[in-house]
Chain A
Amino acid sequence: MNTMLEVEGLHVAYGAVTALRGVAISVARGEVVAVIGPNGAGKSTLLRAIVGLNKPGEGDVRLNSVSIVGRSPERIVADGICLVPEGRHVFTSLSVRDNVMLGATTRSDGKRACLRDLEKILTLFPILQRRYRQRAGQLSGGEQQMLAIARALMAAPKVLLLDEPSLGLAPLVISAVYEVIEQLRLTGVAVLVVEQNIEMALRVADRAYVLDTGRILASGRANELRRMPEVASAYFGGAS
């Protein structure tokens, strides 16, 4: 198995509050893995810990079998893990073009390779092509989400982390975003999607984990998980 990203025994605490306890997940090349769970489960904390914004108290994060725990976010991004954070966080005062090109900050392979990837990405996101020169602040929510993903893809990442890509978006837009996520699989990127929207996440994912109050409750193939009682109780608080 081509495991690209591996998290093992991760413990993250904010002061006295433990956000993650002994979390272990893995994502392989070309795989789409979902982490689902209710609000406050620790999903965002997990992604932030992987990319280096939170320092875990215990545990390991490995990229291609190399431990990256403790590295700065800039270094981890350069190593090949890109995070599309919750709320998109495009640079609203910069143009679409500048936003996308900033994604290439950590690349060292020269302008021509960047421009080639730019073309590929713009075919994936035709809407960005149309708005190329506009200020990112003028884009709609869905378009900004596309932009954020495009920006991340410009870095030619090995692992792409998506934090709640459907948050705040209209249903039609969510479908469009998830179509893009589907296509990412073909590029060989390992994709880790964190979602509250179980429906979409489990539809597009190969495998999934259920996270609740910092612990992995269940894991398995996406369609199996849909039927599992833990998933239901994690969301609707049924007797476990």
Chain B
Amino acid sequence: MNVLQTALDAIDLGAIYALAALGVGLVFSVMRLINFAHGELVAVAGFSVYALDGQPLWIRVIAGLASAVILALIMERVAFRPLRRAEPSTLLITSFAVSYLVQHLIIVVFGSRPLGVSFLQELSGDVAMGSLRLPRLEVVTVAATVMLLVGLIVFFHRTPLGIQMRAAAEDFTMARLVGIKANRVIATAFAISGCLAAFLAFIQVVQSGTVSYRMGLDLVLMAFVSAVVGGIGSLVGATLGGMVVGITSVCLQTFLPPDTRVYRDAYLFGLFLVFLIARPQGLIFRKADRERV
């Protein structure tokens, strides 16, 4: 059942990119910062799981989540808070520097070669659904992503902190004038992005069976592309953008003639540039985001 398999692959990749884009988009919406180091949150969570190989599952999961969240909060406090009023370009370079730093710290501690790790082996292999055999991991990924998204929607629409974050994302100064604590909102955004990163790390570890200092890199690049495609500044856009990019990637992989398939990424980024000619503001563009004269 090749078509269904491909469809599931597409949705699975779309879900992964959507979560990655959400993590990046969340921080951007409250701070106008594109966090390059988001990929390193993934890597750190992955290496925590690796380092605790042999321990019970729940310890490894908690360690992964905790390490990503803690690193995210440290980043915010040490590197980004002092620069909160700086130009977006400066923030961008700073996050690039943080990303570079953490990557090479990992190299110093763990070396640069990928390390094998066994984690949640129960999720590998296929699951039978009627006459179909589908990869268990992909089914779980899609299901878990849906649950996470629902959870985030509930958080943002029904809890006071979530509503405060949406207010801050829309109009940061006005949010302060209503008494919303700037630091708390930003720290929460980073913490949530850390959780999302950890989740992505778990998926990647199960999928590839390895961890490496580079494991977050490609993902975060796709997260940026997805966030831009969806419309930077919109969380719904980030999710949508992730789906679009993921599905496109799998379609390219499937439909490109076999000898050009190695150029898949070049095509993907090329399509990205073409997309930007047609719709530079992204798919979901709020009029409020346009620069007001």
A touches B (Cβ under 8 A): yes
> Which residues does A use to contact B, with CB under 8 Å?
51, 53, 72-74, 77-78, 82-83, 85, 89, 91-94, 98, 101-103, 105-106, 151, 155
Q: In the complex, A180 Cα to B174 Cα: how many Å?
A: 22
B181 touches A91 (CB 8 A): no
- Given known A-B contacts A73-B176, A74-B180, A105 and B164 have beta carbons under 8 A apart: yes
Contacting residue for B177 out of A85, A98, A101, CB 8 A: A85
Contacting residue for A102 out of B178, B181, B288, CB 8 A: B178
- Given known A-B contacts A83-B177, A102-B180, A94 and B288 have beta carbons under 8 A apart: no
- B250 CB to closest chain A CB (Å) equals 32
B170 touches A74 (CB 8 A): no
A91 touches B176 (CB 8 A): no
| 11 pairs of residues in contact across A and B, judged by CB atoms under 8 Å | A51-B177, A73-B177, A74-B179, A74-B181, A77-B178, A89-B171, A91-B170, A94-B166, A94-B167, A105-B178, A105-B180
> Which residues does B use to contact A, with CB under 8 Å?
160, 163-164, 166-167, 170-171, 173-182, 286, 288
Q: Which 10 A-B pairs have the closest CB atoms?
A: A106-B179, A105-B179, A77-B179, A89-B174, A73-B176, A91-B167, A102-B178, A91-B170, A98-B163, A83-B177
A102 touches B163 (CB 8 A): yes
Q: In the complex, A101 Cα to B181 Cα: how many Å?
A: 15
- A81 CB to closest chain B CB (Å) equals 10
B177 touches A77 (CB 8 A): yes
B178 touches A103 (CB 8 A): yes
Contacting residue for A94 out of B163, B173, B181, CB 8 A: B163
Chain B residue numbers with a CB within 8 Å of A155 are 178-179
Q: In the complex, A138 Cα to B160 Cα: how many Å?
A: 22
A85 touches B178 (CB 8 A): no
Chain A residue numbers with a CB within 8 Å of B173 are 53, 89
- B161 CB to closest chain A CB (Å) equals 11
- B238 CB to closest chain A CB (Å) equals 15
Q: In the complex, A105 Cα to B182 Cα: how many Å?
A: 13
Chain A residue numbers with a CB within 8 Å of B166 are 91, 93-94
Chain B residue numbers with a CB within 8 Å of A74 are 176, 179-182
For A98, give the chain B residue with the smallest CB separation: B163
Q: In the complex, A98 Cα to B175 Cα: how many Å?
A: 12
- Chain B CB count within 10 A is highest, among A73, A92, A106, for A73
Chain B residue numbers with a CB within 8 Å of A89 are 171, 173-174, 177
Contacting residue for A92 out of B170, B175, B176, CB 8 A: B170
16 new A-B pairs (CB below 8 Å) besides A83-B177, A94-B163? A53-B177, A73-B176, A74-B180, A74-B181, A77-B178, A89-B171, A89-B174, A91-B174, A93-B286, A94-B167, A94-B170, A98-B167, A102-B163, A102-B178, A106-B179, A155-B178
Chain A residue numbers with a CB within 8 Å of B182 are 74
Q: In the complex, A73 Cα to B168 Cα: how many Å?
A: 14
A102 touches B177 (CB 8 A): no
- A209 CB to closest chain B CB (Å) equals 23
For B171, give the chain A residue with the smallest CB separation: A89
Chain B residue numbers with a CB within 8 Å of A82 are 177
Chain A residue numbers with a CB within 8 Å of B171 are 89, 91
Q: In the complex, A92 Cα to B169 Cα: how many Å?
A: 11
- B231 CB to closest chain A CB (Å) equals 13
B181 touches A93 (CB 8 A): no
Chain B residue numbers with a CB within 8 Å of A106 are 178-179
Q: In the complex, A89 Cα to B292 Cα: how many Å?
A: 13
